[in-house]
Chain A
C-alpha cells in the first residue's frame, strides 16, 4: 500500500515538474493573445491648444481640443485573413475623431490595423489602410508585444505613414505600476490632408489646387506595462502647419493645430486598473504557476522517496535467534 502511494506521488511529481516549463515556454506563447473581438475607446485632451479657424484661416487659442480614439476588433475580417495567413490574426478598425471646443468635428481619420494576435507583428492583407489609403505597416502600433523588452521598437506613425524607432528611455513607476518609458520624435514631415475636412465644400483636392501643403511633427510618449505590453499612459506634443500656396493669403505658414495631448484622467484610472488585472494573469502563466508547480513537484518527489525508503525498511524488529557458536580456532 505504501509503495503504491509512493508511485502515485512520483507520477504527480513528474506531472507538475513537466507542467512547469511547458506552461511557461509552450502554453504561454500560444495562449497569450489579443482577443479578436476587443472593443476599446480612449479620450485624449489638449488643453489651451492652438487650432486653425478655417473661416478666417487664422490660428486661435482654444481652451480644449478632444481626441476620441476607438479600436474595434473585426472578427469576421480576422477569420477571413487567418485562413490565408495561417496564424491568429486581429483586425482593428479604428477611428481618431478630433472635436473642437464647440463640439464640432475637426478631423476624422479611420484606419485598419491588421496584426498577429500573439506577437503584434503587422500582417499585410487587403484592407490595411489609413484614411482610406492602402498602407503596408512595419513595426507596432497602439500596443507593444507581451513581455516587452528594454529596447527600441519600430513604431508606425499613422499621420506621416512612416515607421520610425520609438526609443526605450528607462523604467519608471506610474501609479503603482512598473512601466517602461518610450519616446518617438517624428520630425517635420509633409503629410496628406485628411479625406474629411472640417468645412463643407473644402476637399483635399481643392486645397491641393491652391498649392498649400500640410506639415506635421510630434513627440510621442508611451508608458508601457512590460508584461502585458499595454500602454498605461500616453502623451503627444503635436504640431501641424499649413505652408505656402494661395490659401494662406501670402503668409508663409499658419498653425493648423498645436497642443500637448494627454489621456483624460478617468481613462487613465480605468486603463491602469485593466492593465493591473491583465498583468496578474500574465504573471500567473509566466511566474506564479511555473514556480509553484516546480516547488510542488519537489515536495511530492521528497514524499515519494520517503515512502519508498520506509517501505523497504523492515516493519517490526524480527525476534533474534541465538546464533550457533562458530568454531573457534585454537
Chain B
C-alpha cells in the first residue's frame, strides 16, 4: 500500500509540473522597435 502511495505521488508531481510549465508558456514580449530595412546592413 505504501509503495502504491509513493508511486502515485511521483506520478502526480510529474503531471502537475508538466501541466504548470506548459500552461505558463513563454511571454510574447514586445514588437521590436527596429525598422524594416531599406539599406544593406554591413553585417548580421
For chain B, residues 1 to 44, give those with C-beta under 8 angstroms from any C-beta of chain A: 2-3, 6-11, 13-15, 17-18, 21-22, 25-26, 28-32, 34-41, 43-44
- Given A39-B34, A43-B40, A93-B36: A12 and B10 interface contact (C-beta under 8 Å): yes
Evaluate contact between B14 and A19: CB separation under 8 angstroms. yes
Chain A 5-37: CB-based contact to B (< 8 A → 1; otherwise 0)? 001101111111111001100110011010111
When chains A and B are docked, how far (Å) is the Cα of A93 from the Cα of B32? Answer: 11
**What is the interface of chain A mostly: helix, strand, loop, or mixed?**
helix
If the complex has contacts A14-B14, A18-B14, A41-B41, are A30 and B31 also in contact, measured as CB distance less than 8 A? no
Shortest beta-carbon distance from B22 to chain A in Å: 4
Whether the pair B14, A7 counts as a contact (CB closer than 8 A) is: no
Report whether A78 and B22 are in contact in the complex, using a CB–CB cutoff of 8 Å.
Answer: no
A7 contacts B38, CB within 8 Å?
Answer: no
A7 and B40 contact, CB distance less than 8 A: no
Which one of B3, B15, B38 lies within 8 Å of A108 (CB-CB)?
B38
The answer to the question of A286 belonging to the interface, with a C-beta cut-off of 8 Å to chain B, is no
The contact size tier of chain A is 35 or more
B7 CB contact (under 8 Å) in A11, A33, A73 = A11
- Cα distance A79–B41 in the bound complex, in angstroms: 30
Which residues does chain A contribute within 8 Å of B38, judged by CB atoms? 68, 95, 97, 105, 108
CA distance A99 to B41 in the complex (A): 12
Q: Is the CB of B6 within 8 A of A37?
A: no
CA distance A13 to B41 in the complex (A): 53
In the bound complex, how far is the Cα of B25 from the Cα of A194, in angstroms? 40
Q: Which residues of B contact A26 (CB under 8 A)?
A: 18, 22
In the complex, chain A residues whose CB is within 8 Å of the CB of B44: 41, 43, 266-267, 269-271
Q: Contact partner of B25 among A15, A31, A37, A267, CB < 8 A?
A: A31
Asked whether B15 lies within 8 Å of A22 as measured between CB atoms, the reply is yes
Q: Which of A19, A75, A99 contacts B17 (CB 8 A)?
A: A19
Which residue of B3, B11, B28, B40 is within 8 Å of A68 (Cβ)?
B40
Per the 8 Å Cβ criterion, residues 168-185 of A in contact with B are: none
Closest chain-B Cβ to A159's Cβ sits at a distance in Å of: 18
Contact yes or no, B30 A75, CB < 8 A:
yes
Contact of A266 among B11, B21, B43 (CB under 8 A): B43
Digitize A201-244: 1 where CB-to-B-CB distance is under 8 Å, 0 elsewhere: 00000000000000000000000000000000000000000000
Q: A19-B18, A26-B18, A31-B21 are in contact. List 16 more A-B contacts (CB 8 A).
A: A10-B3, A14-B7, A14-B14, A17-B10, A19-B17, A27-B21, A30-B22, A31-B22, A31-B26, A37-B29, A72-B34, A76-B31, A79-B28, A95-B37, A95-B38, A97-B37
15 A-B contacts (beta carbon < 8 Å): A8-B6, A17-B10, A18-B11, A18-B15, A19-B14, A27-B18, A30-B22, A37-B32, A41-B41, A41-B44, A68-B41, A72-B34, A75-B30, A97-B36, A110-B36
